[in-house]
């Protein structure tokens, strides 16, 4: 029996696939009417999670309980008032849920990458890779980390430009200037402060020797003294905050304490390009603005500016979202054609039958587009057999010669699919239920916290738990090995999500408030 796919020590020292689910401080409001009531809302990627005062008699207990546990009082009965403030769903709330679901898939991806790296190879790419779990569509649940990167950059472009585009379309230039100024000032603080806090903990874990040993553990640099380690951590934070670093793919920059954080400076750089672009197109006519955005996106993709292509694709999709909403909101049914719904049900007209058939046809069209995007998002990289895996051989052969470069050749189709997926979900409202349910929305709220802690969790606690679990279950391929990893995840995942919930409330949200406070204290009155 071939056991190569069970080799847990085959994990390379650097990750290839990561994502950056970045939350902001306010929810995406719907339309200019909402924006007029919320003029201080920054360009946002998702809402700030606001938590009420502790419902228990012991605040320290509420600090430690996750939000899905602190809804119960100390007596064990449900609290009369929910811990999290209620939140209305808007036409773009699905973006938060999409980010949350993607963050969960990234955790699964890194879990498999640590303990089952062989499964990242494409189905049928060689005689050993015919496992059912390696088939397309199934791979999306554990081997689509690169696609998650792309999706999150597209979502960032969409959400960061959503309010500014509304202000542009309604001719509110003074408010646009204030919004962009606030965004530029606060964005770097908002992105760097939470990882700085978490990597400080990672530094302490490293100094204490709690990381696993060996290649699979990804143990950070460990110096002799605590003071030296603190200084090294300070240097790593400065590197994280550098938006001018040339990063084409993950290997270009490996942060000291969590290599998954290579996306932080990429996100800062992409955000600033978004804000500059919005400023540049703010005075253009609507048709010219759309043409300029399309030209920028095509230019970036054609010349291999992969990350900027994703960010600006999000801006373009936000503009298309507004165009579509304006068209659909302006459609009214003439009074002469309005009928009682019961009459329509009893005596459907040929026109109504045609409209119903068109509606079914459009649902089929968008469902096929959704499945196509998911299929391409599951495409393995070249080193994992995209050129020999059935279903992807043709796609790989169609990559232009100009894009046959490391990393870029792997992302050519995936980046297109990520943009296509976001575009499809935005148009197909019947698909948005997957991302507007409470679970997906909750994942969206903790997604950034989940991202910045999962690397430390997996390669310290997860690595050590698996070593002990496998000592108990045995390491023979098959049932023994799978049982040990299952027991590891059974303990690690609840602790991971618990910690992510606490970090979201007490690190992430406070970083947002701190950046806002500093902005208000340092700006001039207008």
User: What pLDDT digit, counting tens, does each position of 154-203 carry?
Assistant: 999 999 999 999 999 999 999 999 999 999 999 999 999 999 999 999 99
| Amino acid 214: pLDDT | 64
Residue 491 has pLDDT above 50, yes or no: yes
Higher confidence at residue 87 or residue 298? Answer: 298
Q: What confidence tens digit (pLDDT) does each residue in 402-423 have?
A: 788 777 788 889 999 999 999 9
- pLDDT confidence of residue 7: 38
Residue 300 · residue 309 · CB < 8 Å: yes
**Nearest C-alpha neighbor of 264 from the set 323, 355, 187, 329:** 187
What the block records as the tokens of 164 is 């500014």
Least confident among 122-136, 243-257, 468-482, 487-501:
243-257
Measure Cα distances from 194 to 428, 448, 452 in Å.
34, 9, 8
pLDDT computed for residue 64 by the predictor: 62
Looking at the predicted structure, is the pLDDT value of residue 85 above 80? no
State the pTM of this model: 0.83
Span 27-40, mean pLDDT?
A: 36
Share of the chain above pLDDT 70, in %: 75
pLDDT cut 90: percent of the chain above it: 54
Phi, psi (rounded to 5 degrees) for 78: -60, 140
Q: According to the model, what pLDDT value does residue 355 have? A: 56
Residue 352: predicted pLDDT: 53
- For residues 245 and 265, the answer to whether their CB atoms sit within 8 Å is yes
User: Helices (DSSP H) in 209-349: which residue ranges?
Assistant: 226-240, 263-281, 286-302, 306-329, 341-346
Query: Where is pLDDT greater, at 352 or 262?
Result: 262
Tell which residue, 86, 90, 69, has the closest CA to residue 78.
69
pLDDT given at position 72: 41
């Amino acid at each position: 029996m071939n056991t190569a796919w069970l080799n847990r020590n085959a994990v390379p020292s650097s990750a290839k696939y990561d994502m950056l689910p970045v939350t902001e401080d306010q929810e995406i409001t719907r339309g200019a009417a909402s924006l007029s009531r919320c003029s201080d809302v920054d360009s946002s990627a998702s809402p700030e999670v606001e938590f009420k005062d502790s419902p228990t008699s012991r605040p320290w207990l509420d600090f430690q309980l996750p939000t899905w546990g602190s809804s119960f009082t100390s007596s064990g009965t449900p609290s009369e008032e929910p811990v999290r403030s209620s939140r209305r769903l808007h036409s773009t709330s699905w973006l938060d849920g999409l980010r949350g679901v993607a963050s969960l898939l990234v955790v699964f991806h890194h879990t498999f990458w640590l303990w089952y790296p062989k499964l990242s190879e494409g189905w049928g790419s060689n005689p050993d890779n015919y496992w059912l779990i390696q088939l397309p569509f199934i791979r999306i649940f554990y081997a689509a980390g690169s696609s998650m990167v792309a999706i999150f950059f597209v979502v960032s472009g969409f959400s960061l430009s959503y309010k500014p585009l509304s202000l542009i379309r309604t001719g509110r230039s003074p408010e646009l200037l204030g919004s962009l100024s606030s965004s530029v000032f606060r964005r770097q603080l908002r992105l760097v402060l939470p990882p700085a806090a978490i990597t400080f903990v990672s530094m302490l874990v490293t100094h204490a020797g709690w990381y696993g040993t060996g290649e699979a553990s990804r143990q950070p640099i460990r110096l002799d003294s605590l003071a030296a380690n603190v200084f090294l951590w300070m240097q790593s934070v400065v590197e994280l905050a550098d938006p001018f670093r040339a990063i084409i793919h993950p290997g270009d920059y490996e942060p000291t304490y969590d290599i998954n954080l290579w996306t932080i400076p990429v996100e800062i750089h992409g955000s600033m390009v978004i804000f500059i672009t919005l400023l540049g197109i703010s005075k253009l006519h609507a048709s010219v603005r759309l043409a300029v955005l399309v030209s920028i996106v095509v230019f970036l993709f054609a010349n291999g500016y992969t990350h900027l292509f994703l960010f600006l694709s999000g801006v373009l999709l936000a503009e298309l979202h507004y165009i579509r909403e304006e068209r659909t909101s302006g459609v009214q049914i003439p009074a002469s054609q309005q009928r009682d719904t019961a009459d329509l049900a009893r005596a459907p007209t040929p026109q109504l039958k045609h409209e119903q058939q068109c509606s079914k046809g459009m649902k089929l069209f968008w469902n096929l587009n959704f499945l196509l995007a998911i299929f391409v998002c599951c495409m393995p990289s070249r080193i994992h057999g995209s050129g020999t895996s059935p279903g992807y051989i043709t796609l790989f052969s169609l990559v232009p010669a100009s894009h046959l470069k490391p990393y870029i050749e792997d992302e050519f189709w995936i980046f297109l699919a990520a943009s296509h997926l976001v575009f499809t979900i935005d148009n197909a409202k019947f698909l948005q239920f997957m991302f507007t349910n409470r679970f997906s929305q909750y994942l969206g709220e903790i997604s950034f916290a989940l991202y910045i802690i999962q690397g430390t969790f997996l390669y310290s606690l997860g690595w050590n738990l698996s070593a002990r679990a496998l000592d108990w279950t045995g390491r023979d391929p098959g049932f023994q090995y799978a049982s040990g990893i299952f027991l590891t995840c059974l303990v690690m995942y609840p602790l991971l999500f618990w910690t992510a919930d606490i970090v979201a409330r007490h690190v992430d949200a406070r970083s947002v408030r701190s950046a806002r406070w500093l902005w208000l204290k340092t700006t001039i009155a207008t």
